């Protein structure tokens, strides 16, 4: 019997970020319009494995996901042991644009979740013409905090346990146990302080209040999809953000939370496939 | 309202037996020994936990109780949290906290070092279909 092998290929690309060499792990599957997927804080690109094995997506899109520096199989920069990792709007934006340029992606679609959902708003503000469309999952220009991030990285609390334990409640109770626990496993595998460092962007540096009104969706369409069980970025947060952006489209997803693509892939595809079909446009539909 | 509270108290009083017979929870809590207060509406319970086992569950009111941390929720919070399939914002203790329906106070170290334990413990009155 032939082995069952996922049609996902993983490789490493070398690129300079912040003036320092980086070795970035990325995976891809499918062919067609480039679709770059951005994982959540403290996680990695495995969150998109279901999207990358869905022929309804990969028949039309070249789906790519890269592990942010310090995450997954991407190597932290030399000397990492002497510094505190902190993601910023500038460093995150640079990583995405550098990755797209290094792989010579022509007007990719970018889909990001959580911190990825926040940064697509900045891409829409500052670099809209470079993208065919932008999709923010669990995306808002700002949201209220619900715990103290100091708990995430200290020697007397197990980082894997507390990171996964905290985000566990961001998923919907309807999401099946297997993908829910797989999502948590990825959180348990994050490096020490990395989730906390990502949240520096989410809570401090990446506050986009007062800036999203500049987004011109005629240059680049913007779709915002948020799960009804997400209490970190609530549907109200997304709707408030979209109300400031003429042309932005909002979808509230039933029975999912903060990790739609990994906590309940079957439910998520009901919402994302129609969005991707619209991005493809009538010419490319069969 | 009094009937709802009485029902919630009855359900919470079943927690020690459920917890102590839950092998997964006992393994999760094997390094956990603490005293915490859980408020169900107007009624406080003091749980003494020894190596993950609920050694004592005392029902208040108390005079000068000692505890490491307290989780106090409105009756509405626990009622929603213990639904078979809780609605958004009722499905997680931190969601309830963010909504202002539940307060988490005190020395939070035992809670944060054992988040899965306490989330599971406090969801035990929920019928199994939607348990965290």
pLDDT at B32 over 60: yes
User: Tens digits of per-residue pLDDT, B76-107?
Assistant: 999 999 999 999 999 999 999 999 999 999 99
Task: Summarize the confidence of residues B14-27 as an average pLDDT.
Answer: 98
Three-class secondary structure of residue A200 per DSSP:
helix
Chain A residues whose beta carbon lies within 8 Å of the beta carbon of residue B85: 173-174
- ipTM given for this complex: 0.95
Looking at chain B, which residue has its C-alpha nearest residue A233? B95
How many C-beta atoms surround the C-beta of residue B131 within 10 A?
A: 15
- Run of H or E including B71: strand B69-73
pLDDT for B104: 98
* pLDDT band at residue B128 using 50, 70 and 90 as cut-offs: confident
User: Tens digits of per-residue pLDDT, A13-44?
Assistant: 999 999 999 999 999 999 999 999 999 999 99
User: Tens digits of per-residue pLDDT, A57-72?
Assistant: 999 999 999 999 999 9
Chain B residues whose beta carbon lies within 8 Å of the beta carbon of residue A156: 109, 113
* pLDDT band at residue A283 using 50, 70 and 90 as cut-offs: low
User: Tens digits of per-residue pLDDT, A220-270?
Assistant: 999 999 999 999 999 999 999 999 999 999 999 999 999 999 999 999 999
User: Tens digits of per-residue pLDDT, A128-145?
Assistant: 999 999 999 999 999 999
- Run of H or E including B48: strand B43-50
Residues of chain A whose C-beta is under 8 A from some C-beta in B? 144, 146-147, 151, 156-158, 161-162, 164-166, 168-170, 172-174, 228-229, 231
* pLDDT band at residue B131 using 50, 70 and 90 as cut-offs: low
pLDDT for A142: 96
Check CB contact under 8 Å for A146 and B97.
Answer: yes
**What mean pLDDT, rounded, does chain A reach?**
97
Tokens of A171: 């998923």
pLDDT for A93: 98
* pLDDT band at residue B61 using 50, 70 and 90 as cut-offs: very high
Choose among A70, A127, A95: nearest CA to A17. A95
- For each of the domains in chain A, give its residue range(s) and CATH number, in order of start: 9-284 (3.40.50.1820)
Alpha-carbon dihedral sign for residues A275, A63, A137, A118 = negative
| Domain B2-130 in this protein, CATH class | alpha beta
Angle between helices A177-188 and A159-167 (to 10 degrees): 140
pLDDT for B39: 98
Contact (Cβ atoms closer than 8 angstroms) between residue B71 and residue B37: yes
Check CB contact under 8 Å for A231 and B132.
Answer: no
d(CA A271, CA A254): 9
**Of the partner residues A162, A228, A229, the one whose CB lies closest to the CB of residue B115:** A162
pLDDT at B34 over 70: yes
Put simply, the chain B residues between 57 and 86 with a CB less than 8 A from any chain A CB are 85-86
pLDDT for B129: 65
Chain B residues whose beta carbon lies within 8 Å of the beta carbon of residue A180: none
pTM, whole model, 2 decimals?
A: 0.96
Chain B residues whose beta carbon lies within 8 Å of the beta carbon of residue A162: 112-113, 115
DSSP E strand stretches across chain A? 9-17, 20-29, 33-38, 61-66, 109-113, 133-137, 222-227, 249-253
pLDDT at A282 over 90: no
DSSP string, A94-130: HHHHHHHHHTT-SS-EEEEETHHHHHHHHHHHH-GGG
pLDDT for B1: 77
Chain B residues whose beta carbon lies within 8 Å of the beta carbon of residue A253: none
Angle between helices A115-126 and A89-102 (to 10 degrees): 80
CB pairs under 8 A between A and B: 58
Q: Which residues contact A91 (CB under 8 A, 6 or more apart)?
A: A17, A18
DSSP string, A50-89: TGGG-HHHHTTEEEEEEPPTTSTTSPPPTTGGGS-----H
Check CB contact under 8 Å for A156 and B99.
Answer: no
Contact (Cβ atoms closer than 8 angstroms) between residue A250 and residue A241: no
């Amino acid at each position: 019997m032939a082995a069952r092998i996922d049609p996902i290929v993983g490789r490493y690309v070398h690129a300079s970020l912040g003036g320092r060499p980086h070795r970035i792990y990325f995976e891809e599957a499918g062919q067609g319009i480039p679709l770059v997927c951005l994982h959540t804080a403290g996680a990695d690109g495995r969150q998109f494995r279901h999207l990358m094995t869905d022929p309804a997506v990969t028949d039309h899109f070249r789906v790519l996901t890269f592990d942010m520096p310090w995450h997954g199989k991407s190597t932290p920069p030399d000397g990492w042991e002497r510094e505190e990792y902190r993601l910023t709007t500038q460093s995150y934006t640079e990583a995405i644009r550098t990755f797209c340029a290094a792989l010579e992606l022509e007007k990719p679609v970018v889909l990001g979740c959580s911190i990825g959902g926040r940064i697509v708003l900045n891409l829409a503000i500052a670099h809209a013409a470079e993208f065919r469309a932008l999709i923010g999952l669990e995306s808002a220009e700002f949201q209220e905090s619900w715990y103290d991030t100091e708990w995430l990285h200290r020697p007397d609390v197990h980082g894997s346990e507390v990171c996964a334990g905290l985000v566990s409640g961001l998923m919907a109770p309807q999401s099946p146990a297997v993908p829910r626990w797989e999502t948590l496993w990825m959180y348990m595998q994050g490096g020490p302080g990395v989730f906390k460092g990502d949240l520096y962007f989410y809570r401090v540096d990446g506050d986009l209040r007062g800036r999203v009104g500049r987004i011109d969706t005629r240059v680049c369409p913007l779709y915002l999809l948020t799960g009804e069980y997400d209490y970190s970025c609530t549907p109200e947060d997304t709707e408030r953000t979209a109300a400031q952006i003429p042309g932005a489209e909002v979808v509230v997803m039933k029975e999912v939370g903060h990790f739609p693509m990994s906590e309940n892939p079957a439910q998520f595809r009901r919402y994302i496939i129609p969005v991707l079909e619209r991005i493809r446009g009538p010419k490319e539909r069969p | 309202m009094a009937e709802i509270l009485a029902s919630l108290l009855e359900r919470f009083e079943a927690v020690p037996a459920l917890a102590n017979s839950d092998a997964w929870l006992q393994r999760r809590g094997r390094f956990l020994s603490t005293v915490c207060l859980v408020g169900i509406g107007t009624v406080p319970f003091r749980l003494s936990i020894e190596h993950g086992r609920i050694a004592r569950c005392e029902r208040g009111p108390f005079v000068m109780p000692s505890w490491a941390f307290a989780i106090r929720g409105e009756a509405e919070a626990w009622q929603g949290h213990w639904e078979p399939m809780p609605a958004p914002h009722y499905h997680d203790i931190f969601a309830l906290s963010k909504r202002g329906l539940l307060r988490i106070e005190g020395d939070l170290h035992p809670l944060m070092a054992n988040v899965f334990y306490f989330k599971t413990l406090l969801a035990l009155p929920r019928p199994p279909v939607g348990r965290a």
